[in-house]
């Protein structure tokens, strides 16, 4: 099977675009995670200073009407911080999709010749 030069260029174009997109998204996710973690710690300190319940497990079992806005913020930030690994895996899946798109002309050319 002979691979055309244009197919190679198409692959490398999508590989490079996907790589740099994922690099940018990963850096963004890393720094966002750092900021959200600091903000979560700050919100927990404010909650403790106000002498409110700050245990996340207890807060999850309370209704929305029973929560103070600071406690709601703690729950939101905890969820965002906990989903960091899921976000990184989504970024990796985006990279794989770009690689597959780059491989389509090579696969299509190989299938149509057989």
Burial class (CB in 10 A: 0-12, 13-18, 19+), 74: buried
Would the pLDDT of 2 be above 80?
Answer: no
> CB pairs under 8 A, 24+ apart, for 83-86?
84/29, 84/33
For the chain, what is the radius of gyration of the CA atoms?
Answer: 23
pLDDT of residue 110: 59
Instruction: Give the angle subtended at the CA of 18 by the CAs of 98 and 97, to the nearest 5°.
Output: 20
With a cut of 90, say whether residue 68 has pLDDT above it.
no
Domain assignments of the chain as residue spans, ordered by start: 23-109
**Residue 52 near residue 75, CB atoms below 8 Å:** no
Mean pLDDT (whole number) for 43-71: 88
């Amino acid at each position: 099977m002979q691979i055309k030069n244009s197919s190679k260029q198409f692959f490398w174009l999508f590989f490079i675009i996907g790589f740099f997109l994922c690099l940018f998204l990963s850096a963004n996710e890393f720094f966002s995670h750092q900021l959200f973690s600091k903000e979560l710690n700050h919100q927990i300190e404010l909650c403790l200073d106000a002498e409110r319940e700050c245990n996340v497990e207890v807060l999850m079992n309370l209704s929305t009407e029973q929560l103070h806005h600071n406690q709601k913020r703690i729950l939101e930030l905890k969820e965002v911080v906990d989903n960091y690994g899921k976000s990184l895996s989504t970024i990796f899946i985006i990279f794989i999709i770009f690689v597959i798109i780059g491989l389509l002309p090579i696969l299509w050319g190989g299938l149509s010749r057989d």
